[in-house]
Structure 1
Amino acid sequence: MKMINVGCGNVFHSSWVNIDIVSRFPEVTEHDLTQGLPFDDKSIDVCYSSHVLEHLRKNEADYFVSECKRVLKAGGVLRLVVPDLEAICRNYLRYLDELVVTNHDHEFRYDYTILEMYDQLTRETPGGELGALWSSEKIQDLAFVRSRGGLDAIEAIESSKGMHGKKQINNTRMTSYTGKIRRITKKLRTKAVELSIRLIMGKGALQSFRQGMFRNSGEIHRVMYDRYSLARFLKSHGFSEINLVQAHQSQIVLFNTYLLDTVDGVPRKPDSIYIEAVRGN
């Protein structure tokens, strides 16, 4: 089987073809996903993508899913993972109702849920307020944060405390030499542009430039999905056998052995919707 992991970041497996817009590892092929997928028509058995779709504008998401369909063989499986808007909204309403009736036991959960709702959409710096919270001493309900943020939150919390436990993601590989050179060159070009903007237009224009560059870097969320809108979206692209699954469930053979969505049976991103669909003939 030929399986592709699209937008893999630092979570990948050697049995898959791993691609991302920026590669920090020799095992990951660097490719601009907005330019389509670099595979022939009907050449792929499985297409997997986790927490990528929500970063794309609607027209970009349409193109992305159409590309996934194009490269999949008849009967090929598409598995998508995205943040669950419904779960965030249900938590918000639950903890809001509690506070209104003067039950303040979960006030931290209420504030945290509001951060989940807007921080990823509006942030102007890497990690945003949510990332800053994970690395701070202000967490009042550690179990809740872990249940929502998953391994990303756990690693940020442990890192802030100087803990060096077992790494749960494939992020210990050496970065490729060419990748380092490419990023250094890009950073130098950006610094040169920033200097020119500051000299010509001032600090305000420089701040606007930096904010614009960040918002186009791919970190923020452009669209949020729930179980209905995501299934409807895949159906509109002609996929069939569309099923919501759990992190540990899949029709992909031996999927859990690749540790893409779970580690030791625990979901990497528990705040997610997991959905699979099949390409017809």
Structure 2
Amino acid sequence: MHQDLKLLNIGCGSAFHPTWINIDLVAASPAVQAYDIRKNLPYISNYFDACYSSHMIEHLTLQEAHQVIAEAFRVLKPQGIFRVIVPDLEVITKKYLYALEQVKSGDLQAESSYDWMLLELYDQAVRTFSGGEMGSYLDNCNIKNKDFVMSRIGSAAENYWQSKEISKQKSVWDKLKSKNLAWLFQKFRIAIARTLVILVAGKEAHNAFDEGLFRNTGEVHRWMYDRFSLQRMLTQVGFVDIHCCQANESKILDFNTYELDVFDGLVKRPDSLFMEGIKP
């Protein structure tokens, strides 16, 4: 690894490396800086050698995503590399249509794959509770097409099952201890607001209030991208030499050593579109 490179991971979630500067709305680790990435990035122009963002911009509006990419362009040095990963709408749609044709032709074995692809296409855009119908599907201990699901979302499934198991083992007190005072105060404010909404406007407004709060947690997909729309957005910002690549391919020096997209030889998110561009 080249320690002298300046590297920025934007909206890192739980996928980060200590060599990089890692930022996200909520810090999942002391190695992550909490920052609202929808605002201008807190770095000078022409500073970083590479910027990376995985499965983040689909959680933003089109305008917010454009702003984040424009900011990545600003903070990159000339010839700096921007690597962005999103769910691949084109592949998801093709696999959904293929599964649809299979079940329509009478192949009942394909029905579970059809169900999953419909969830992959639509659930995260419309869900109103954490995990959504996709989470309910994964909670089924007798998933008929587990290998197919794993081939689609890889370690995301394992992470989901692991987090559920850890959550079960934690007591209410343990969960409260892991939260800070600001989080508890925010929960108290929301509880008061919920009570006022239901008293003033009724249960239907209360349900709409809860749905609105959930949709702002960052879990919902606000847009989806294919290779044309993502390339067009990068072009509009100013990137050149834009190209799709595989999970283990990158112009970022020694990228695979950071194990951000591939771990132990396995692609973390096989459902992804991987794209890179260069700042001229």
Aligned residues between the structures: 267
Distance 1:161 1:193 in 2: 32
Q: Secondary structure at the match of 2:232?
A: helix
Mean CA deviation greater in 268-277 or 90-99: 90-99
Say if 1:156 and 1:179 are closer, same or farther in 2 by CA, change over 3 A: closer
1:180 CA drift (Å): 2.2
Alpha-carbon distance in 2 for matches of 1:152, 1:246: 18
Check the 8 A contact 1:24/1:179 in 2, yes or no.
no
CA distance in 1, matches of 2:272, 2:105: 29
Report deviation, 1:158: 5.6
Aligned to 1:183: 183
Instruction: Give the whole-Å Cα distance in 1 for the aligned partners of 2:44 and 2:163.
Output: 42
Following the alignment from structure 2 to structure 1, what is the Cα–Cα distance between the partners of residues 239 and 138? 38
Q: Deviations over 1:102-158 (max 9, x none)?
A: 122211001110111110000001111101211222411110010112111123346
CA distance in 1, matches of 2:50, 2:121: 31
What is the 5 A alignment of 1:26-45?
26-45=30-49
2:262 is matched with 262
Q: Are 1:22 and 2:45 counterparts?
A: no
How far the C-alpha of 1:279 sits from its partner, in A, is 0.2
Find the partner of 2:157 among 105, 130, 153: 153
Match of 2:171 in 1: none
Deviations 1:44-75 (A, max 9, x none): 11110001111111111111111110111100
- The aligned residue for residue 76 of structure 2 is 72
Give me the TM-score of the superposition, normalised by structure 2: 0.90
Matches within 5 A, 1:94-113: 94-113=98-117
TM-fit CA distance, 1:197: 1.6
Instruction: Could you tell me which runs of 5 or more consecutive residues in structure 1 were left unpaired when the two chains were aligned.
Output: 163-174
- The equivalences for 1:108-127 within 5 A come to 108-127=112-131
Superposed CA offset, 1:72-118 (max 9, x none)? 11000000000000111111111111122212221100111011111
1:222/1:241 CA distance change after superposition, 3 Å: same
1:90 aligns to what SS in structure 2? helix
Tell me, yes or no, if the aligned pair for 1:135 and 1:159 is still in contact at 8 Å: no
Identity %: 40
Amino acid aligned to 1:180: N
Q: CA deviation at 1:201?
A: 2.2
Q: Distance in 2 between matches of 1:268 and 1:236?
A: 29
Q: Who is 1:279 aligned against?
A: 279
After TM superposition, the score normalised by the length of structure 1 is 0.90
Corresponding residue number in structure 2 for 1:140: 144
Coordinate RMSD, CA, aligned: 1.9
One-letter amino acid of the counterpart of residue 197, structure 1: V
Provide closer, same or farther for how the CA distance between residues 140 and 178 of structure 1 changes in structure 2, counting only shifts above 3 A: closer
